[in-house]
Structure 1
């Protein structure tokens, strides 16, 4: 995924790349922002534990200089950088009336970014971004002839990949969206992916800016085309697509480049650090459509539960083992911290209790099934030993192999799945909270992506293997995707019924 802009990695506040970033911010009229983060470390913590926002690990900044066509993309490594010097520069840009900021559903990124900087001693992080235009509003204008003034982005907006495809004819891959952005060093593929997300914000805005010009707005042909849903004026959009694809435009600058910041600084004119002067068309856009993002006090505190339709749990429930009721278990548990474990229960359900595996996943417990069909006892034991799991079975003959895995085999006595679930919970003293319900993929035991998908993203992700009912398109639902098998889930009636069922089974409402 190549872009027609210089790309720089910023990893230290005393580096030439950081100096170039500050100069670029000072002389840019339009700046695009995007962010990548790692999941919360407290996601599976007890409900009474303090919550925290995900930490932003990479900030992408695309700068377009005023009265010029120079575009630079900066990948700012927040894990390596001293944040206070960057905080000053970002705060000035966020609040500068002379710089238009662009983003894609950026308020959520700003909340996480503000929390990350505040955690590193930067006052309260960031309070506002002004003037600002969301790319989802730009996309709405290009399709329907009007921006979503004062309303913010729609809840069911198109994904950035979809917008790029419709507006620019560019296929923007999202394969690395769920990669671990806290691991260093970043791969070249991750760098290209991150740079593209910020760069194409500017390119999409260029199409909007072209359509906004006085000549385009007052043209009867353009007016008619703009007011037609899904249509673009061919004399503008197609021409811009052709311009982006022309070899003479890309030439030798096609692709990302790293480490040339010293040359860029040495050749910079001293006047380039002066405040940017906005041209007429950009001033008109800001005056007519510029909005602001303001973080309220409530935005600075994570919610205890994102699940709708039920109250967050106020306590974690612990089930005590009835004395002498389950005598087949001889322990210890392989996940015990005293044995170097991580205190996360893990089970391997053989073919006789595969239904129990799905029930365990529904309450957030890691439950695998045999990796091969019709496994032999030896294969089950090897898998359990390698993955540090307890084997669950109803096969009494399998118990004779307990010595091979340190007695890590338990024979389930109950026949009904909900009774089997309670038997396992009580036998192994597992803590279950309401927040853990429906937190695993029942199909493959995988985890879900950190943030929910829009309907457009869900439809794109489901192509080829899963059909999303059309009746869901007009509903305000959150979609979640398994990071392992790609299965999609949504918080509809079945979800609510399943949650209530397991609240009753596990007696969480007592």
Structure 2
């Protein structure tokens, strides 16, 4: 069933899969890196254990390019590092990472760079990548945006996820369902490719919002006494003649002449120093980007200590099998042992009920879609005791992917299960199989996906729905002539109707649960 509202989308981009250096896609990548002022970079790898002695191998590198204004294209390149000969692309990437003509964007990219450097070193590209500059972390962009919106009050260091930042800055819901999928497996699904491209593209979209804010503030800035400024100050003015910035610093006479042409009269004496050209990249940033890079930009520098995996300092007593007590305990309760609290043999009512912790909240919605009672924690950041108390009180099985919670199995025996699958569809099938749930077609979309409540048994007419929705929900005018039936949640009063989204969802779960067989 549908409710009102449409999800916004990220900027539409062309996605190029790069798996060969003599392909048109690679040629286009090389061209775009020399014609881009800003790029967003991200990397993906197979999920790994934190205690392993080597870094994971990066399987995919995403580069989203914001080309100069003379191009209308917004390409995202997905570099398949599992098949590309890494030495053949090392120089291209290395030059881009240190080019002062390209502002690099990332989200906590230092770890990605460590893994990326290790991956290239393993194929003979020693010493690998050691720096990225100029670099701007999207967490810093978000902090500055929040700072401007908070009337000058100091903003604490941000620790929000990229999905949260996208939601707040762009109004875009960025799904992270595929984040922990196996990126080393080939071929990647179209959903994985779209997810990877969106992760890089959203960096550019967030930065565009930030740049627009900087430009707006720069245009309102009062500029006075330009003739008395030194060259350093002149270069920092956002509307300064770009002729000044297009000159090589070593050409002192040209710089002076260009400055004199824009600011006739008194010119302070300057001393020009030779500098190296910027890595062979022919295009240069415009004035606004230079200003942003100087004021807000940073750089990532890897130290020798960064190139060594950090092993956990916590050590437990190991048995002869080489496992700690906690590891053995987790293993012993990893599989479901039953019976669940709703089982008739233990006095239950026969109705399955689950509590999905924050690590599997997406699974809760899928369970609701197939008619299963699936609650989420009462608070956004519940403690272990809160989860245990809620599961006990409501007689639910706690579903989680947090192995630490399994050590509390003695407190809620037969009421905790660790979900092994990573993707929501597979998680749903795993829970159905493990707990032998019976799913039938008439159960589909029979619960409120918003709050887990049940629907009022009698459907509402359009007139009744309009009256019931007053004050909190808008019924689209296009539905008035379709003679639809509406359903209302008894708990949150949310209205649903059997529109296109409803029928698509029903068909989806018929396929996922194999109800046609």
TM-score scaled to structure 1, two decimals?
0.51
Question: Which of the numbers 104, 107, 114 marks the counterpart of 1:104?
Answer: 107
TM-superposed CA distance for 1:469, in Å, is 4.8
Relative to 1, partners in 2 of residues 1:81 and 1:140: Cα closer, same or farther, differing over 3 Å?
same
Are positions 1:17 and 2:22 aligned together? Answer: no
Q: Secondary structure at the match of 1:130?
A: strand
Q: Does 1:82 align with 2:82?
A: no
Change (3 A) 1:79 1:295: same
Name the structure 2 match of 1:158.
160
Note the C-alpha offset of 1:368: 1.6
Among 178, 185, 188, the alignment partner of 2:187 is 185
User: 2:63 — aligned with what?
Assistant: 61
1:136 aligns with 2:103: no
The residue matched to 1:206 in structure 2 has which SS? helix
Mapped partners of 2:213, 2:98: distance in 1: 27
The question of 1:370 aligning with 2:377 is answered no
Q: Once superposed, what is the RMSD of the aligned Cα atoms? A: 4.2
Post-superposition Cα deviations, 1:130-167, rounded to whole Å, max 9, x if no partner, equal 000001110111111299xxxxx987521111111111
Partner SS for 2:191:
helix
Greater relative contact order structure (CA < 8 Å, 6+ sep): 1
Q: Name the residue aligned to 2:121.
A: 118
Comparing 156-165 with 96-105, greater Cα deviation is found at: 156-165
Please tell me whether the aligned partners of residues 120 and 128 of structure 2 are also in contact (alpha carbons under 8 angstroms).
Answer: yes
Distance in 1 (CA, whole Å) between partners of 2:117 and 2:51 is: 23
* SS across alignment from 1:186: coil
1:27 aligns with 2:27: no
Rounded to whole Å, the distance in 2 between the matches of 1:171 and 1:137 is 20
Q: Alpha-carbon deviation of 1:29?
A: 0.7
Q: Residue in 2 aligned with 1:303? A: 310
Following the alignment from structure 1 to structure 2, what is the Cα–Cα distance between the partners of residues 34 and 192? 13
Give the secondary-structure state (helix, strand or coil) at the position aligned to 1:90.
Answer: helix
Matched residue of 1:137: which SS?
helix
The 5 A counterparts of 1:16-415 are: 16-40=24-48, 51-68=53-70, 69-145=72-148, 156-213=158-215, 215=217, 218=220, 275-305=282-312, 311-313=313-315, 317-319=318-320, 362=329, 367-370=334-337
Give the CA deviation at 1:470. Answer: 8.0
Runs of 5+ unmatched residues, structure 1 = 46-50, 148-152, 221-272, 306-310, 321-342, 346-357, 375-442, 449-461, 473-483, 499-510
- Asked if 2 retains the 8 angstrom alpha-carbon contact of 1:360 and 1:367, the reply is no
- Structure 2 Cα separation of the partners of residues 288 and 146 of structure 1: 18
1:274 and 1:214 mapped to 2: Cα distance? Answer: 29
Whether the aligned pair in 2 keeps the contact of 1:361 and 1:367 (CA below 8 Å) is no
Does the C-alpha gap of structure 1 residues 2 and 79 become closer, same or farther in structure 2, counting only changes over 3 Å? same
Q: Answer yes or no: is the 8 Å Cα contact 1:98–1:276 preserved in 2.
A: yes
Cα deviation, residue 169, structure 1: 1.3
Partners of 1:182 and 1:219 in 2: CA distance: 50
Deviation at 1:317, TM superposition (A): 3.3
CA, structure 1 residues 80+2, in 2 after alignment: closer, same or farther (shift >3 Å)?
farther
For 2:376, the equivalent position in structure 1 comes to 464
Q: How many aligned positions are there?
A: 300
Structure 1 position 215, deviation (Å): 4.6
SS in 2 for 1:163: helix
TM score, norm. by length of structure 2: 0.51
Question: Post-superposition shift, 1:2?
Answer: 6.3
How far apart, in 1, do the equivalents of 2:57 and 2:308 lie?
Answer: 14
